[in-house]
């Protein structure tokens, strides 16, 4: 691909202003922030203010008809990810989709197939692989400080109303697991190279009756090397828990969600408690990799098949919750 890549965002909504954020990360990596698409005329006016000279479109069809667009970033409610990503691929555009990739494994497969057929790149914005706390945790695991990992526990919860629309309605969001759960599952899967052999899930609906998302979900799964993982997430948890608790044969890691995290181990027979600082977060690394991949063939950091595995775990957890049985995920 030539050096003059032009990028577009589909969705310039006000939630976290992610349209502006993506265009900014693109620009820093060398992609021209060329166009924005949104059905809200007021949001397009904001885009023109924040990126003078940017082209704006009120429909996806109009945007995709612009032959100058090389890359489209889908920043829409979760239930629209698959359809719009496939539409972009079929128009010959490279595609980045905000997390979660989609709502079902079947949708993920259709997205991957469409990108391969069109010969375009497909990736999912799992930018939090570059969070400073996670990078420090992963480095400690990879260095073998904890020995062989046999238990990974993660938690994201609290007590409070989940909000509205894309964070509260299951048909739109996919459920309580599909927000922070997508980040945590991707994190956990990248702490080991082992595959997942079985998933169990418990989903509860007890308090927030005015929304359709579950209040609480617990997913546990077993890796092929015997390691077990657990993710607890929800909006009805009064008591806090550590964000991470990772057990290994030579030590344990506990992160309360604030710097530094603690590693418990032994040195020459003495019990030791190590304080480990976080690394610096670098979300821009995601787009730098996208540019290097498209320009020079560098390996894609977030492959669509990896993002598909996240969806497979969430789908298997929900199937398990309904059946009461362990479910083997559609995990390839």
Q: What is the pTM of this model?
A: 0.96
Quick: pLDDT tens for 208-232: 999 999 999 999 999 999 999 999 9
Closest CA to 140 of 306, 278, 243, 259: 278
Quick: pLDDT tens for 116-175: 999 999 999 999 999 999 999 999 999 999 999 999 999 999 999 998 888 899 999 999
| Mean local confidence (pLDDT), 29-52 | 97
Q: Tell me, what's the pLDDT at 37?
A: 98
Q: Tell me, what's the pLDDT at 185?
A: 98
The span from the CA of 219 to the CA of 325, in Å, is 12
Quick: pLDDT tens for 50-79: 999 999 999 999 999 999 999 999 999 999
Handedness of CA 37, 38, 42, 43 (dihedral sign): negative
Residues 88/117, Cβ–Cβ less than 8 Å? no
Residue 15 confidence class, pLDDT cut points 50, 70, 90: confident
Q: Tell me, what's the pLDDT at 4?
A: 87
Domains of the chain (ranges, CATH numbers): 6-128+283-300 (3.40.50.720), 130-281+312-323 (3.30.360.10)
Q: Tell me, what's the pLDDT at 3?
A: 64
The mean-pLDDT minimum among 158-172, 193-207, 304-318 falls in 158-172
The span from the CA of 305 to the CA of 244, in Å, is 25
258 CB neighbour count, 10 Å cutoff = 9
In DSSP terms, which residues pair with 32 in a beta bridge? 6
- Over the chain, what is the mean pLDDT? 96
Whether pLDDT at 2 is above 60: no
Backbone conformation region of residue 165, classed left if phi is above 0, alpha if psi is from -120 to 50, else beta? left
Q: Tell me, what's the pLDDT at 331?
A: 79
* E strand or H helix at 201: strand 196-204
Q: Tell me, what's the pLDDT at 166?
A: 83
65-69 contact pairs (CB < 8 A, 24+): 66/8, 66/35, 68/6, 68/34, 69/6, 69/7, 69/8, 69/34, 69/35, 69/93
The residue that leads in pLDDT, 51 or 331, is 51
- Cα-based angle 20, 22, 23 (whole degrees, multiple of 5): 65
322 CB neighbour count, 10 Å cutoff = 11
Residues 291/5, Cβ–Cβ less than 8 Å? yes
């Amino acid at each position: 691909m030539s050096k003059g890549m032009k990028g577009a965002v589909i969705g310039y909504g006000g939630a976290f202003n992610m349209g502006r954020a993506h265009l900014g990360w693109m620009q820093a990596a060398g992609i021209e922030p060329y166009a924005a698409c949104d059905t809200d005329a007021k949001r397009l006016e904001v885009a023109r203010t924040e990126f003078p000279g940017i082209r704006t479109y009120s429909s996806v069809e109009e945007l995709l008809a612009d032959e100058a667009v090389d890359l489209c970033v889908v920043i829409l409610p979760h239930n629209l990810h698959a359809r719009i990503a496939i539409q972009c691929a079929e128009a010959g555009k490279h595609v980045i989709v905000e997390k979660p990739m989609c709502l079902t494994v079947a949708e993920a497969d259709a997205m991957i197939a469409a990108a391969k057929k069109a010969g375009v790149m497909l990736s999912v914005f799992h930018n939090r692989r570059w969070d400073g706390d996670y990078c420090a945790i992963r480095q400690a695991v990879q260095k073998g400080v904890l020995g062989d990992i046999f238990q990974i526990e993660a938690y994201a919860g609290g007590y409070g109303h989940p909000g509205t629309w894309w964070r509260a309605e299951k048909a739109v969001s996919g459920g309580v697991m599909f927000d922070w759960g997508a980040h945590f599952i991707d994190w956990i899967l990248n702490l080991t190279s082992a595959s997942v052999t079985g998933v169990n899930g418990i989903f509860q609906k007890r308090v927030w009756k005015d929304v359709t998302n579950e209040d609480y979900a617990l997913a546990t799964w077993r890796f092929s090397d015997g390691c077990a993982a657990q993710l607890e997430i929800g909006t009805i948890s009064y008591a806090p828990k550590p964000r991470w608790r990772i057990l290994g044969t030579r030590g344990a890691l506990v992160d309360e969600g604030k710097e530094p995290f603690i590693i418990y181990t032994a040195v020459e027979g003495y019990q030791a408690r190590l304080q480990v600082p976080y690394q610096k977060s670098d979300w821009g690394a995601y787009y730098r990799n996208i540019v290097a991949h498209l320009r020079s063939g560098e390996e894609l950091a977030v492959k669509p098949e990896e993002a598909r595995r996240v969806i497979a775990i969430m789908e298997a957890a929900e199937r398990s919750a309904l059946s009461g049985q362990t479910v083997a995920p559609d995990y390839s």
